[in-house]
Amino acid sequence: MEPQVLVFSIALIATIFCSAFAAKMPDYIQICHRSDPKIAECVKKTVHSIRPHLANGIEELSVPAMEPLYIGDLNILEGGSSGINVRVKKLNVWGSSNFEIKKIRSSEDAKRFDFELILPYLHGEGNYNINGQLLGLTLRGNGPFTGNFTNFYAFVKVIFEVRTVNDVEMIGLKDLDVKIRTGTGSIHLQNLFGNDKTLGDIINETINQNFELFTNEVIQPIERALEKKFSSVASKILDSFSYNELFPV
């Protein structure tokens, strides 16, 4: 359930990245020009300069507070490879504003960016509903859950396209791809098997002993679902600006 925390953080970071080039920018945001041979480093510095302001949000950029980051309800898996169904409700996450861009590459025309992103520590709280088979175990239950997650990586590819509308070059989202590499962590699901403590403790212990395997079981559907969500958010932002507004020469 935890990988979606990372990807939503990426989505928000990318939202900030796009918004950072809009008019009436705060003084701490550096303009990045697409003719700059070091545009990737410029974008990295710009996003990192925004980072200290994210905990409480940035009103002038319509960026909401990230501490906590409210994600809400998500269908994580519907069927899955093992017929498991997982739903998360009222999810809040702490630690999302402490991200770090480890690597970033860009094309010469600023139409493609490749990010490598790490979040050193995340803490999540919410409610879950789970039913199905995972790791050879039958899982049933619903109730509160908490999770602590360390060193989750994401590799994000964003490709833009430029089209002419009324003699103005507009930029849009052509493709977006997300790959996640899980780190370490632990989760605790309450009320498994109708709050049977013995069975619940066994399941929680088994999941945490197989943390990487557990996360890999659910990672692909999460990647695909959140690519769709991220693409929708990014497209709405990009539709508001021309190519030259976002990436001046």
Q: Give the tens place of pLDDT for each residue, 118-161.
A: 888 888 899 999 887 766 667 778 999 998 888 988 888 889 88
Domain count, the chain: 1
Instruction: Give me the domain span that covers residue 156.
Output: 3-69+91-126+145-246
The span from the CA of 140 to the CA of 98, in Å, is 34
**Within-domain flag for 52:** yes
HSE, CB side, 13 Å, CA atoms: give it for residue 154: 30
Asked if 16 and 63 count as a contact pair (C-beta separation under 8 A), the reply is yes
**Within-domain flag for 112:** yes
**Within-domain flag for 84:** no
- Burial group, residue 74, by CB count within 10 angstroms (0-12, 13-18, 19+): buried
Q: What tens digit of pLDDT does each residue of 26-83 get?
A: 677 677 888 888 888 888 887 788 788 878 877 766 666 778 877 778 777 676 555 6
**Within-domain flag for 80:** no
Tokens, residue 80: 């899955």
**Within-domain flag for 60:** yes
- Burial group, residue 188, by CB count within 10 angstroms (0-12, 13-18, 19+): middle
**Within-domain flag for 140:** no
**Within-domain flag for 170:** yes
**Within-domain flag for 138:** no
| CATH code for the domain of 114 | 3.15.10.30
